Amino acid sequence: MKKRYFGLILYLVFAILPIYWMVNMSLKTNEEITGALTLWPRHLTFDNFRTILTDPAWYGGYINSLIYVLINTVLSVAVALPASYAFSRYEFLGDKHLFFWLLTNRMSPPAVFLLPFFQLYSSINLFDTHIAVALAHMLFNVPLAVWILEGFMAGIPREIDETAYIDGYSFPRFFVRIFIPLIGAGIGVTAFFCFMFSWVELLLARTLTSVNAKPIVAIMTRTVSAAGMDWGVLAAAGVLTIVPGALVIYFVRNYIAKGFAMGRV
């Protein structure tokens, strides 16, 4: 019994140490970072965070990221809801093939789509807009949303649908008034996943933007290559990118395990 907790704690330490080291570094001055290895900041400073939160070039990146991530999450969940209902309730011509085709999009490497996306969005004048990144991210988020939601919907007994129809509910009214509240947890978990996968994606977001919609993740890589020295600010920017994830995980903490299992246990 003791031995198994020992292993677990060892792993948790392994999991937390790198994050701790970044947080630690974000609170130090650059002299202290490059000077000596210290386990906690000797001269506690919030200057690194102040730099980011007062410079529009930095905090603009966070705003851009949040805008396209939110557009993407809302659109993905909105189109996935009716589709996953169809997959969980009906058989129709080519349903299995369609589902597989959707899944392949979750599994296609973004690098394959890099160049065509660039040309497609340039040709319809969407290059460097938030909506372009949001649409591009739907490529992998919509299939994922359908997959997760279908798992949750399959857990709701059909009798509920049938009773509602007998009671004279039309489909849209039944769907919005009765069905959506029933799978509230599933929608929350799905939104969480769409948010996360869009938030962490770099390759497409970087390629489809230049100035106006440049995401924070792209701004960070630029700092690495250009300045290369400002470790404190880099660490602080990293810490700030974890904040949304940490907030979201707090809200869905009771559903984490089930959510990661795509509602399929």
Partner 1 sequence: MLKTYNNKAWLLVLPVVLCVAFSAIIPLMTVVNYSVQDILGPDQKVFVGTEWFQLVMRDPELHAALGRQVLFSAAVLAIQIPLGILLALALPATGWRSSLSLVLLAMPLLIPQNVVGTIWQIYGRGDIGLAGAALTKLGVNYNYTGNSMDAWLTVLVMDIWHWTPLIALLAFAGLRAIPEAYYQAARIDGASRFAVFRFIQLPKLRGVLLIGLLLRFMDSFMIYTEPFVLTGGGPGNATTFLSQYLTQKAVGQFDLGPAAAFSLIYFLIILLACFVFYSLLQNAGPAEKAPH
Task: For the segment 134-193, give every residue that binds partner 1 (CB under 8 A).
Answer: 135-136, 138-139, 142-143, 146, 154, 158
Pick from 88, 81, 261, 253: nearest CA to 184? 81
* CA–CA distance, 217 with 200 (Å, rounded to integer): 8
Q: Does 126 bind partner 1 (CB under 8 A)?
A: no
Residue pair 61/206 in contact (Cβ under 8 Å)? The answer is no
Q: Does 253 bind partner 1 (CB under 8 A)?
A: yes
* CA–CA distance, 81 with 261 (Å, rounded to integer): 18
Q: Does 60 bind partner 1 (CB under 8 A)?
A: no
Q: Which of residues 6-25 bind partner 1 (CB under 8 A)?
A: 7-8, 11-12, 14-19, 21-22, 25
CB 54 to partner 1: min, Å: 21
Q: Does 208 bind partner 1 (CB under 8 A)?
A: no
Vertex 68: Cα angle to 135 and 253 (nearest 5): 110
Which residue among 43, 55, 119, 122 contacts partner 1 (CB under 8 A)?
A: 119
Q: Does 246 bind partner 1 (CB under 8 A)?
A: yes
Q: Which of residues 22-51 bind partner 1 (CB under 8 A)?
A: 22, 25, 33-34, 37
Q: Which is nearer to partner 1, 47 or 255 (CB)?
A: 255
CB 36 to partner 1: min, Å: 9
Rg over CA atoms, the chain: 22
CB 4 to partner 1: min, Å: 4
Which residue among 54, 97, 107, 211 contacts partner 1 (CB under 8 A)?
A: 107
* Only segment of 42-50, 52-60, 116-124, 178-186 that touches partner 1 (CB under 8 A): 116-124
Which residue among 68, 152, 179, 199 contacts partner 1 (CB under 8 A)?
A: 199
Task: State whether the Cα torsion 113-114-119-120 is positive or negative.
Answer: positive
* Only segment of 40-48, 51-59, 181-189, 245-253 that touches partner 1 (CB under 8 A): 245-253
DSSP state of 264: -
Residues 6+ apart with CB under 8 A from 87: 95, 99, 146, 150
Question: 3-state SS string over 159-204?
Answer: HHHHHHHHCCCCHHHHHHHHHHHHCHHHHHHHHHHHHHHHHHCCHH
